[in-house]
């Protein structure tokens, strides 16, 4: 029965995608006004093969002055994880909480580095409570399925 022991291993963490746009440079760089910053995060988990999963965390950082973009950064950091012999009810929390918590620090560093190398003060993404984010998504999914089941 030793081959039925639960397995959770990180195979690799890597930068999957990164893009930076400064469509209004250099004129926007002369503006004195403080830009607004909009940050969006997303988590995605996909099976790669039996017991192997890719979990990615995506950040989009969009800064604007009035209606003009200062810069737009999109970064997708991913990890490959081996997950075997776990009860099915634990797979959601592993994919939605544990794996993103491992990948996220790499994403934070890459976002800050990319923005700073572009000539801007770094944007430091705040710590994320992936458990709260996961629970909120589960709650929204449950409400959506309840709403879909109601007769119109």
Torsion of CA 143, 144, 149, 152, to 10 degrees: 110
Query: Where do the domains of the chain lie, and which CATH numbers do they carry?
Result: 2-146 (3.10.420.10)
- Tokens 């991913």 label which residue? 78
Residue 150 is predicted with a pLDDT of 52
List the beta bridge partners of residue 148: none
Residue 148 region by backbone torsions, left for phi larger than 0, else alpha for psi between -120 and 50, else beta: alpha
Tokens of 3: 């081959």
Average pLDDT over residues 115-126: 91
Distance (Å, whole) CA 100 – CA 93: 10
> Cβ(26)–Cβ(57) under 8 Å?
no
Strands (E), 50-147: 52-65, 68-84
Residues 72-98 pLDDT 10s:
999 999 999 999 999 999 999 999 999
Residues 26-63 pLDDT 10s:
999 899 899 999 999 999 999 999 999 999 999 999 99
Residue 1 is predicted with a pLDDT of 45
Residue 49 is predicted with a pLDDT of 96
Model-level pTM?
0.86
């Amino acid at each position: 029965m030793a081959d039925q022991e639960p397995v959770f291993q990180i195979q690799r963490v890597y930068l999957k995608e990164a893009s930076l746009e400064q469509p209004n440079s250099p004129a926007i760089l002369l503006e004195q006004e403080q830009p607004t910053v909009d940050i969006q995060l997303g988590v995605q988990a996909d099976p790669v093969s039996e017991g192997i999963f890719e979990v990615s965390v995506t950040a989009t950082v969009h800064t604007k002055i009035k209606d003009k973009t200062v810069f737009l950064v999109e970064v997708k950091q991913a990890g490959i994880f081996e997950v075997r012999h776990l009860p099915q009810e634990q797979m959601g929390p592993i994919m939605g909480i544990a794996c993103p918590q491992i990948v996220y620090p790499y994403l934070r560093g890459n976002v800050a580095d990319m923005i700073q190398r572009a000539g801007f003060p770094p944007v430091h993404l705040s710590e994320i409570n992936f458990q709260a984010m996961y629970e909120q998504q589960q709650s929204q999914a449950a409400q959506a399925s309840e709403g879909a089941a109601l007769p119109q």
